[in-house]
Amino acid sequence: MADSTPFTADFRSDTVTKPTREMREAMLTASVGDDVLDGDPTVGLLERTAAEWLGKAGALYVPSGTMANQIAMGSWGRHGDEVILERGAHILAYEAGALGRLHGLQSVTLEGNNGVLDPELVRAAIRPDFIHCPNTAAICVEQTHMGSGGRVLPLDNLTAMGAMARECGIALHMDGARLAHAVVRSGHSAADFAACADSVSLCLSKGLGAPVGSIIAGDEAFLERARVVRKQLGGWMRQAGLLAAAGLLALEHGVERLAEDHELARELAGALDGKFGLSCPPEGVETNLVLVELQDTPIDGPELCTRLAEHGIGVLPLKPRQLRFVVHRDVSGKHVQAAVAALEAILTSRLS
Ligand SMILES: Cc1ncc(COP(=O)(O)O)c(C=O)c1O
């Protein structure tokens, strides 16, 4: 049976990638077991491989990036505690209010510069040990930073943040959904970045191309709590080795390839910047996300996305006057050209 896709060129997200033939074959032959009762050998192998890549003592394989982040939040915080996040953080803006709903946590948000927070501003936001104040449970950083278009948080900033957090005795969680992109772009290892944090999540099902699954990693004391929260959230899967087999291939073979996505993303930005009333300076494109500002277009983001869909191009509006294109394994230069041609057709015919 053929895979289904509503678009000829789908730039809505890097989650749309289809598993490769190698992944499907690995899934067919994976050794499996009941991961809750006895352990699943392939899940175990994936967890050990991911932990090693991240330089952490251990890791858990979980269904999604949202669950990985929320397991961390539920492990670090108790009802009434506070978490410090950058204003556009995925954990805050795109996880459906789970912080409050699931864990009774409240948030303090700070304005970042392309997702980068000043450690001294974060230090100032940590609550004093005082009967009237909530307890600050954790600080969150996001690598790469989705809301700023996949910018890479510099290693020296994260190192300073980690040192400050340790000094203050506050846990640092890294939402590393696209950490692999930061690795490829910066040349630093995943372990270098992850060393700054006490817990780190990683999505296998975005640019790395696995069909399902994410990782949450940390030291043994963290994992002990994390296993309980995973159980409470219903995220402990049974013969999940079927999926983990694809996740292993994603981690082993998906990382280096991301450089191609970064190059194509820049190419897309270069082709659109300053054209048809659009703005997206290519020098601001560091990884695989391209945020296109609708500076001088007669229609706004949602309508433009509807029109693009009529041309077979899938794109999402991140804000009313901003589109987000995500470049991934299943789009090519040909698709970029088709997107540029569709935008030209829609926007120039409207202007004339
Ligand atoms: C930065 C970031 N964190 C977490 C997630 C959540 O991942 P999932 O969709 O697997 O829940 C996403 C998804 O797009 C993301 O962009």
Question: Residue 263 — very low, low, confident or very high, per pLDDT cuts 50/70/90?
Answer: very high
Read off the pLDDT of each residue in 303-313 and give the average, rounded to a whole number.
97
Chain segment 91-127, per-residue pLDDT in tens: 999 999 999 999 999 999 999 999 999 999 999 999 9
Among 241, 246, 185, smallest CA distance to 44 is for 241
Using the atom order of ligand 1, give the atom closest to the CA of residue 142: 1
Question: Residue 1 — very low, low, confident or very high, per pLDDT cuts 50/70/90?
Answer: low
* Level-2 CATH architecture, domain 15-253: 3-Layer(aba) Sandwich (3.40)
- The residue nearest atom 5 of ligand 1, judged by CA position, is 65
pLDDT at res. 352? 42
Chain segment 70-95, per-residue pLDDT in tens: 999 999 999 999 999 999 999 999 99
How far apart (Å, rounded) are the C-alpha atoms in residues 133 and 20? 51
Question: Residue 218 — very low, low, confident or very high, per pLDDT cuts 50/70/90?
Answer: very high
- Which CATH number fits the domain 257-351, given the four candidates 3.40.50.300, 3.30.1330.100, 3.40.309.10, 3.90.1150.10? 3.90.1150.10
Task: Point out the least confidently predicted range of 3-12, 13-22, 319-328.
Answer: 3-12
> Cα of 181 to ligand 1 centre, how many Å?
14
- The residue nearest atom 13 of ligand 1, judged by CA position, is 65
Question: Residue 2 — very low, low, confident or very high, per pLDDT cuts 50/70/90?
Answer: confident
Using the atom order of ligand 1, give the atom closest to the CA of residue 67: 11
Chain segment 27-46, per-residue pLDDT in tens: 999 999 999 999 999 999 99
Same fold, 15-253 and 257-351: no
> Cα of 177 to ligand 1 centre, how many Å?
6
Share of the chain above pLDDT 90, in %: 97
Write the CB contacts of 158 (distance below 8 Å, at least 6 apart in sequence).
Answer: 141, 143, 174, 193, 196, 197
pLDDT for residue 162 is more than 70: yes
With a 6 Å cutoff on the Cβ, whether 148 touches ligand 1 is no
pLDDT for residue 52 is more than 80: yes
pLDDT at res. 333? 97
Share of the chain above pLDDT 70, in %: 99
pLDDT at res. 77? 98
pLDDT for residue 54 is more than 90: yes
Strand extents, DSSP E, the chain = 9-10, 58-62, 82-86, 106-110, 136-142, 171-176, 199-203, 214-218, 278-279, 289-294, 313-314, 316-319, 322-326
pLDDT for residue 4 is more than 90: no
Exposure b/e, 198-235, CB count within 10 A at least 16 = b: bbbbbbbbbbbbbbbbbbbbbeeebbebbbebbeebeb
Summary mean pLDDT of the chain: 97
How do the domains of the chain map onto residue ranges?
15-253, 257-351
pLDDT at res. 3? 83
Read off the pLDDT of each residue in 258-279 and give the average, rounded to a whole number.
98
pLDDT for residue 141 is more than 70: yes
